[in-house]
Structure 1
Amino acid sequence: MPIRDAATVLVLRRDDKGPSVLMGMRGAAAAFMPSKFVFPGGAVDPGDAQVALARPLDPVCRHRLQLEAGLSPEAIAAAALRELAEETGLLIGQPGSAPCPWPGHAAAGLVPDAAPLVYLFRAITPPGRPRRFDAHFFVTDATAIAGDPDDFSAACDELSHLHWVPLAQVRQLDLPFITEVVLAELAELIDGLPADRPLPRPDTVPFFDNRGPAPVFRQIA
């Protein structure tokens, strides 16, 4: 079974109520992870590589993506921003005149912005699953959203029950195993971080590599 490149975004809100993360539930009839709560994300489309970005990825994040990914880092970052817009209606972009093929950004006069994305995790779906992805997980702060972070009116119907889940309560949801692992990495990344400080890059990016006959866990430096 082919392994498709994919991108996922953890949007983190930090306020006086504590940190929370945006999640939604996949449909019961979905072929991949039905009825599970997940982050916005999906497969990279061929057109993602042609989308102009207002600002590039952080150089270290870009380098880590480029080390092993078969696609360009820009295509993966663009896919993350597109999936966020499609599945939640939330936009991350900068005002600009560069043409954007995505309806939400075009209507708002925004050019997708990769600068707020922090590369957090990579995982390849194990063999034997109905679909397999080489998934790249990014985290971004909710302050990067252009507009109301509680307005999901422009979301498609791929995810239901979109809401901000306090990190302290998120494990009460029905989560895929890899989602729990990524949440643990996020909790470690922001442990002790004041809410007014920007999100740091992790020292390394954990990678669950399931391409070979046996799973390998390593770090992308």
Structure 2
Amino acid sequence: MPQLNFELPAGVQFSDEPLPNPPVPRDAATVILLRDTANGLEVFLQRRVAAMAFAAGMTVFPGGGVDARDADASVRWAGPPAAEWARWFGGTEPVARALVCAAVRETFEESGVLLAGTEDGVVADANRYADARRQLVSRELSLAAFLDGAGLTLRADLLRPWAHWITPPQETRRYDTRFFVAVLPEGQRADGETTEAESSGWQRPQDALADADAGRSMLMPPTWYTLRELTEFDTAADALAAERRIQAIIPTLVRDGDRVRVIVEDA
């Protein structure tokens, strides 16, 4: 099986040997937001602030860790059931439900895009829920409580499974992250109104990769790998329709002089 080598910037700290008691990875969800433009397919990216404990200064997709309340079974739900997501990603139905809810919540918190709707369709203007967005960020409000109070239904049918990445056991902060893909709903706008990002915006995947190659940005291996995959699609519909074989990817970290090399088995 061929390998892909990806260099991390100098100064990355990790253990040369597997930790004797590596931390259990925390469940997390990442959402790859897409849109079609006259210049081609674009993806929404955010550069994390330098003060962040994880992936500081890196350019990433919206996402974050699962909150215990994301597993609330009272969330109104439309689309593939939790059992189907569990089959796609592997794992239990409660974890799958929590991951989908986390994907919707984190996307709304970090980009203002709300993958929810009513009997009339998908929300067209998410700005009306700005107060709820702030309360979700501060954890004053759970996703279930927000959706119930707003009379909204989570739209799992707007999401597709994309990938599954697990942080190497050599790192002290680990995540078990499932990647989703979704198209920007008509009428909605993705913004950068989050304290976790210093800048946000849309880019063609090939342009984002070129920025990283030129040293204008830094990408985590899963982000780089995903952007490379997205260059193969002309439209968002093509990406959503792609058949995906979801397998857990755990990169290997190898010290190479002053650099850290990430080796990813190319499935």
Q: 1:57, 1:77 within 8 Å by CA — same for their partners in 2?
A: no
Q: Which residue of 1 aligns with 2:110?
A: 87
Alignment identity in percent? 29
Larger radius of gyration: 2
Q: 1:206, 1:217 within 8 Å by CA — same for their partners in 2?
A: no
TM-score by length of 2: 0.66
CA distance in 1, matches of 2:265, 2:94: 21
Q: Aligned pair in 2 of structure 1 residues 195, 31: CA closer, same or farther (>3 Å)?
A: closer
Q: Which residue of 2 aligns with 1:207?
A: 248
Q: Does 42-51 or 68-77 show the bigger shift?
A: 68-77
TM-score by length of 1: 0.79
Q: Aligned pair in 2 of structure 1 residues 105, 93: CA closer, same or farther (>3 Å)?
A: same
Q: Provide, for residues 48-93 of structure 1, a one-character-per-residue CA deviation record: whole Å limited to 9, x for no partner.
A: 111514313377654212x336853121111011000111111111
Q: Which residue of 1 aligns with 2:168?
A: 126
- Uncovered stretches (5+) of structure 1, i.e. residues with no partner: none
- Superposed CA RMSD in Å reads 3.0
Q: Which residue of 1 aligns with 2:188?
A: 148
| Higher relative contact order (Cα pairs below 8 Å, separated by 6+ residues) | 2
Q: Provide, for residues 13-63 of structure 1, a one-character-per-residue CA deviation record: whole Å limited to 9, x for no partner.
A: 112221110011111111111100000001111111115143133776542
SS in 1 for 2:241: coil
Q: Aligned pair in 2 of structure 1 residues 71, 196: CA closer, same or farther (>3 Å)?
A: closer
Q: Which residue of 2 aligns with 1:9?
A: 31
CA distance in 1, matches of 2:26, 2:239: 31
CA distance in 1, matches of 2:165, 2:200: 24
Q: How does 1:110-189 map to 2 (within 5 A)?
A: 110-142=152-184, 144=185, 147-150=187-190, 152=191, 155-171=193-209, 172=211, 173-188=217-232
Q: Which residue of 2 aligns with 1:55?
A: 78
- Uncovered stretches (5+) of structure 2, i.e. residues with no partner: 1-22, 120-140, 212-216, 253-262
Q: 1:94, 1:111 within 8 Å by CA — same for their partners in 2?
A: yes
SS in 1 for 2:55: coil
CA distance in 2, matches of 1:157, 1:179: 20
SS in 2 for 1:199: helix
Q: 1:32, 1:130 within 8 Å by CA — same for their partners in 2?
A: no
Aligned partner of 1:72: which letter?
Answer: V
Q: 1:72 aligns with which of 95, 101, 112?
A: 95
Are 1:28 and 2:50 counterparts?
yes
CA distance in 1, matches of 2:149, 2:112: 12
CA distance in 1, matches of 2:41, 2:220: 21
CA distance in 1, matches of 2:175, 2:158: 24
Q: Aligned pair in 2 of structure 1 residues 195, 26: CA closer, same or farther (>3 Å)?
A: closer
SS in 1 for 2:178: strand
